[in-house]
Structure 1
Amino acid sequence: MNDQERLDDLIIDGLQIYQRSDMFRFSFDAIALIHFCRFNSRHAYVDFGTGTGVMPLIGTSLGARHITGIDINETLIELAQRSVEHNSKQDVVKMLCGDYRHMSYRDIQDKPFDGVIVNPPFYDSESGAKPTSEERALALHDGHTTLDEVLKAVQSFIKCKGRLWMIYSASRLQYVLHELEVANFQAKRIRFIHGMIDKPAKLVLIEAIYQGRAGLVLEPPLIVYENPNVYTKEVSSWYER
């Protein structure tokens, strides 16, 4: 084991995950996104930019039949694969190293996926402070991978009327909804994430249907903390399973 490698408890369904302290690690964004998804036990899904594979691991515990994780970072995929084996998820989770922008469902299976999960870089690379490391910049800023590129990749993986779940910056909601419409996705569910009930939303969860009909539901907001460092009942319930 690498000196900077560790095995962390997810505190969800008894799952554990390998991570490295010197590399990008999953955040609350991923936990919120995977719990926003609505999985079908007969359907297969793909997670773009899976990182250490936290969303596929949890997603199969939340009802997905199978989830494939794809990431361009070979080291992270190796960690993710070890986490899959450690949690005995080999039958329901698959990890692939590659650039999803230059792939399609045909590289993995013989029919399009029922749904795509993605936590894309959502900060504008042309504005704001830049992350200190190149790795964080790739994960957080859209200078390397634009939303347009992400959505074109989704089109190459997803079936007609398939579902896309994503998390994005709330301040850029107008932009993301426009890009979704241009790419022939209809937003169906939106949920804002607030750190505290009296604070503005910083993030937004979006479910969209590929080639779907218009009809949007604005869900009650997700409040993360009741008090500083004290999760709300909803968030706590995720960890009590």
Structure 2
Amino acid sequence: MTEDSISARGLFPRGLDQPTEGYRFSFDSLLLAAFAPAGRRILDLGAGCGVVGLTILLHRIDSESRIVGLERTPVLADCAERNAISLGFGSRYDLIRGRVEDLPGARWFDAGSFDGAVMNPPFRSPGSGRVSEREEVRSARFAGGGVLKAFVQGAAWAVRTGGWAAVVFPAERLSELLVLLTGVGLEPKRLVMVHPRRREPARLVLVEARRNGSPGLIIEPPLVLHVGRGAKTRLTRQVLRFCPHLSCNQGLSKNDLNG
């Protein structure tokens, strides 16, 4: 590994190659990567600039995990490939340029060939907000034409029996997500609600489902993101322990998380 790669890993996720304008990844991608179970071969559906898959590799730096990212937007696919090389993961990260909607049945890989799949699907309904002129923003944020269903179906097709799918999604649409997961044979097994602050409604939910799994859902303690208000807003120690890479947002080192 080169000195540049060592430096890039130390700064991560700062310094990731992203479009200067348009869609940029958010903290939900880092939460998803921290939540995902272990696996030797993991599919990242709608990989964007590669942040979820690359965070997984950094979390499991000594493992044999490999990531295959699937991204439809050329500018984001280019970023993902450059980021993998910059971080020294060129041999463990492969990028397929294509649409999630083309799964199942695509010839990129065989059905059931992955231990797990991660997905941060578009969640805004068309007409729910201002539509960007930039294609990468539209495809990353707006879920028209059954896009969520396509993500769930693609994950179910790609993972082996007993394999897992992990997803981050708006909490207010949890019932829709659970119906889609169970409808394709992905049985929800683990769930974490993500709250902006204590005593505030959850905004996000993290769900792990198993292909052809038996019923039985564990609802884990909720994650609370912030304490304080205004200029005194800080990330909680709980969420920083859950996902240490969030520390880049407030100047904390990973050693600060043990107190």
Query: By the TM > 0.5 criterion, same fold?
Result: yes
Q: Does 1:26 align with 2:34?
A: no
Q: Which moved more, 1:101-110 or 1:157-166?
A: 101-110
1:10 Cα offset (Å): 7.7
Alignment TM-score, normalising by the size of structure 1: 0.86
Alignment TM-score, normalising by the size of structure 2: 0.81
Aligned to 1:234: 238
Q: SS where residue 20 of structure 1 aligns?
A: coil
Give the letter for the 2:158 counterpart.
F
Aligned to 1:5: none
In the comparison of the two structures, how many residue pairs are matched? 231
Distance 1:10-1:144 versus aligned 2 partners, 3 A rule: farther
1:131 Cα offset (Å): 3.6
Aligned to 2:249: none
Q: SS where residue 107 of structure 1 aligns?
A: coil
Aligned to 2:46: 49
Q: What is the rounded CA distance, in whole Å, between the counterparts of 1:204 and 1:111 in structure 2?
A: 26
Q: What is the rounded CA distance, in whole Å, between the counterparts of 1:45 and 1:105 in structure 2?
A: 17
| Structure richer in strand, relative to its length | 1
Aligned to 1:76: 76
Q: 2:43·2:68 contact (CA, 8 Å) conserved in 1?
A: yes
1:152 Cα offset (Å): 1.8
| Structure richer in helix, relative to its length | 2
1:111 Cα offset (Å): 5.9
Q: SS where residue 17 of structure 1 aligns?
A: coil
Aligned to 2:93: 93
Task: Provide, for residues 154-212 of structure 1, a one-character-per-residue CA deviation record: whole Å limited to 9, x for no partner.
Answer: 12211111100001111111111111111111100111111111211111110001111
Aligned to 2:122: 121
Aligned CA-pair RMSD = 2.4
Q: 2:19·2:75 contact (CA, 8 Å) conserved in 1?
A: no
1:225 Cα offset (Å): 0.7
Give the letter for the 2:87 counterpart.
N
Give the letter for the 1:18 counterpart.
D
Aligned to 2:171: 170
Q: Kindly, what percent of the aligned residue pairs are identical?
A: 25
Q: 2:36·2:166 contact (CA, 8 Å) conserved in 1?
A: yes
1:14 Cα offset (Å): 7.7
Q: What is the rounded CA distance, in whole Å, between the counterparts of 2:101 and 2:219 in structure 1?
A: 30
Q: 1:70·1:99 contact (CA, 8 Å) conserved in 2?
A: yes
1:17 Cα offset (Å): 1.3
1:135 Cα offset (Å): 3.6
Which blocks of at least 5 consecutive residues in structure 1 are unaligned?
1-8
Distance 1:10-1:169 versus aligned 2 partners, 3 A rule: farther
Distance 1:235-1:105 versus aligned 2 partners, 3 A rule: farther
1:137 Cα offset (Å): 3.0
Give the letter for the 1:50 counterpart.
A
1:145 Cα offset (Å): 4.7
